[in-house]
Structures are given as structure tokens and as C-alpha cells.
Amino acid sequence: MKKIAFITGATSGIGEAIAKMLASDYALIICGRRVERLEKLADALRAKTDVYALTFDVSDSKTVNTAIDSLPSQWQDIQILVNNAGNAHGRAPIHEGDLADWDAMIDSNLKGLLYVTRAITPGMVKKKSGDIINIGSIAGKEVYPDGNVYCASKFGVDAAIKGMRIDLNPYGIRVVGIHPGLVETEFSVVRFKGDKDKSESVYKGITPLYANDIAETVKFVVDRPPHVTIADITIFPTAQASSTIVNRQL
Ligand code: NDP
Ligand code: 8X3
């Protein structure tokens, strides 16, 4: 079997595009909560590579460990971990924030990434090899109005990435942070709880990034020779200059 890449959040958007992009060179463990979507993607990708579909919620540490422990022995030697699962839930000023939304963001985006990393890194440390590609966000570099807790979760992710790079340095493990701006996926549909007008308005008047742009970046990063670590990339659509400055040709 080829080397193994483990991708969280593969049921849509950026994670799905990364799975498709890496399928030519890697065997894939694809993860997400929506079983039907995961199975459909697995079936499609099996034309290209070996695929193992693993359904679990990253925010539940027990489920994360049970799922990863359940991997058959031939699927346990993971070379690449792509920490991508996550979402924004709501967008509101701090005094109006919904606590369930806050929990979902901290628990999935930050704690979930940590749980998965904790479960997979001992194997990488043991063999002194591995790549950990983390999908952060520009929201982890700059705070924007009403983005408070989503931004906090992604600032936490940025700190976790830097911390793991230091801790895993003695073992030759490459740790990468990729921080996108506006990417048109299901992200805004989830954030605005299915409100089509609100979610479409996020990308109105611009050519946004597409999931494939991020997948190509992941491919570039993992294809570097072993002595090269691309530590940190911020990637914007050309129309975007910062979290809050977007040139909309309306
Ligand atoms: P999508 O909504 O299209 O995809 C999100 C993915 O994350 C889905 O596969 C979803 O799977 C998975 N996911 C979410 N919560 C959980 C959970 N608790 N347990 C397991 N899986 C979960 O959005 P994107 O593809 O855009 O988002 C992917 C990553 O990129 C996120 O971390 C996001 O913060 C980040 N990002 C996105 C940007 C954008 O503008 N789109 C910009 C910057 C960063 P399922 O629901 O099946 O579990
Ligand atoms: C997603 C990008 O700007 O909506 O992380 O927070 S943004």
C-alpha cells in the first residue's frame, strides 16, 4: 500500500478537495460525521487508491480515540495528518453570542484538532517521521467584528501549531499551518445555519478562493523534499487584503 494520509473534515469543502488531490499519491483515511457523504466519497476515490472511511466527531475525545484505535493494523502507520475539520457557528457581538455555538467552535476547531493530533502523533514520534498539515484561518491571525469566538478558536489553533512544531522538532516531523481567507465552501451555509442570502453575500462581488486552491497548496507543501518545511502560509483571494478589507466589484 502507498503511504497513508489521514484527513479530517473530508465530507465537504476543503477536506474533500484535499482527499481528491492526494488520492493519486497516498492511501487515504477520510473522516467526518456524515456517513453517507463519506461512503460516497470513499467509493469514488477507490478508483484511484485504497480508502478507509472513519466516522467520528472530532469534538468528542472518547470517540476520537475509539475511532483511531479501531484502525486495522495496515492502516495505522499514518504519514500525513491533515487537521481540517471545523466550522464557524454564528456571527454575533460578544454580548449576544450563543453559548452552544461557542462550545461547538472551541470544541471542534481547537479541542478536536488537539484530540486528533494527540492520538496520531505518538506513531509519528516513534518512527521519527510525519507531516501535520493544519488548516487554520486568517481568523487566527486577525480578529474581525462579531468574529470573536471563531477567531479565538483559530488563534488557539495557530498557537497549537507553533507549539507542536517546537515539541515535534526533535523527531523530524514537519508541522505546517495553512491560513486561508475567503474560500467558497459550505462554511458560510453552516455559519449562517442555512440562510442562503447571508451565506451567498459573503462571496458576492469577488472571485473567492475555491477548495481546490487550498488542496493544491497542501500538495505543494507535502511534495517539498524532506529537509524543507513550509511552516506558515496565509492565502487570500486576490480581492482580499485582510480579514476586513475586501474589494467587491458590485
Ligand atoms: P465545510 O463546511 O465545507 O467543511 C467542514 C468540514 O469539517 C466538513 O467535512 C465537516 O464534516 C467537518 N466537521 C465540522 N465539524 C466537525 C466535527 N465536530 N467532527 C468532525 N468533522 C467535523 O467548510 P470548509 O471546507 O470551508 O472548512 C474546512 C476548514 O477550513 C475549517 O477548519 C475552517 O475553519 C477552515 N477555513 C475555512 C475558510 C473558508 O472561508 N471556507 C477559510 C479559512 C479556514 P461533517 O459535518 O460531516 O462532520
Ligand atoms: C474563515 C474565513 O474570514 O470567514 O476562516 O473567518 S473568515
Q: With a 6 A CB cut-off, is 137 part of the ligand 2 pocket?
A: yes
The whole-number pLDDT of residue 177 equals: 99
Cα(172) to ligand 1 centroid in Å equals: 28
Q: With a 6 A CB cut-off, is 84 part of the ligand 1 pocket?
A: yes
User: SS3 sequence, the chain?
Assistant: CCCEEEECCCCCHHHHHHHHHHCCCCEEEEEECCHHHHHHHHHHHCCCCCEEEEECCCCCHHHHHHHHHCCCHHHCCEEEEEECCCCCCCCCCHHHCCHHHHHHHHHHHHHHHHHHHHHHHHHHHHHCCCEEEEECCHHHCCCCCCCHHHHHHHHHHHHHHHHHHHHHHHHCCEEEEEEECCEECCHHHHHCCCCHHHHHHCCCCCCCEEHHHHHHHHHHHHCCCCCCCCCEEEECCCCECCCCCECCCC
Specify the residue with its C-alpha closest to ligand 1, atom 46.
33
Tens-digit pLDDT string for the chain (250 aa):
899 999 999 999 999 999 999 999 999 999 999 999 999 999 999 999 999 999 999 999 999 999 999 999 999 999 999 999 999 999 999 999 999 999 999 999 999 999 999 999 999 999 999 999 999 999 999 999 999 999 999 999 999 999 999 999 999 999 999 999 999 999 999 999 999 999 999 999 999 999 999 999 999 999 999 999 999 999 999 999 999 999 999 7
The domains of the chain, with CATH numbers, are 4-235 (3.40.50.720)
The whole-number pLDDT of residue 151 equals: 99
Specify the residue with its C-alpha closest to ligand 1, atom 26.
187
Give the largest Cα separation in the chain, rounded: 55
The helix-helix angle for 113-127 and 148-168 (nearest 10°) equals 10
Residues with catalytic annotation?
150
The whole-number pLDDT of residue 250 equals: 79
Specify the residue with its C-alpha closest to ligand 1, atom 13.
85
ipTM of the modeled complex? 0.99
Q: With a 6 A CB cut-off, is 59 part of the ligand 1 pocket?
A: yes
Q: Is the pTM of this model over 0.95?
A: yes
